Amino acid sequence: MNKRTVILLIVAGALLTVSYVLFYSDSSDAKNIQVFLTHRQTSAKGPRQIIFTLDKTYKVDSIRFCRAAEWQTNKFAHGL
């Protein structure tokens, strides 16, 4: 192989690497999910409903609830 072929292969490899990182990595797109809380009273003596809604449609695998004070001091807080 001559110098021109080697340089073309290096440039093509660098372009493929950069395009892969830009198109297939999630590091540039921070995902912020907005959660809304609503309290509803079903009847005068009945239990209160707590409803959580999200700003968009997401595929959710699991949800874990923990106390806010515990989450602020311990990022690996146990769920309720």
Mean pLDDT of 43-66: 82
**pLDDT single digits (tens) 32-53:** 788 898 888 777 777 788 888 8
**pLDDT single digits (tens) 1-24:** 789 999 999 999 999 999 888 887
Task: Tally the C-alpha atoms within 13 A of residue 26's C-alpha that lie toward its C-beta.
Answer: 3
Instruction: Give the confidence band of 29 by pLDDT, cuts at 50, 70, 90.
Output: low
Query: Token digits for 58?
Result: 């997401």
Indicate the pTM of the whole model.
0.40
Within 10 angstroms of residue 55's Cβ, the number of other Cβ atoms is 10
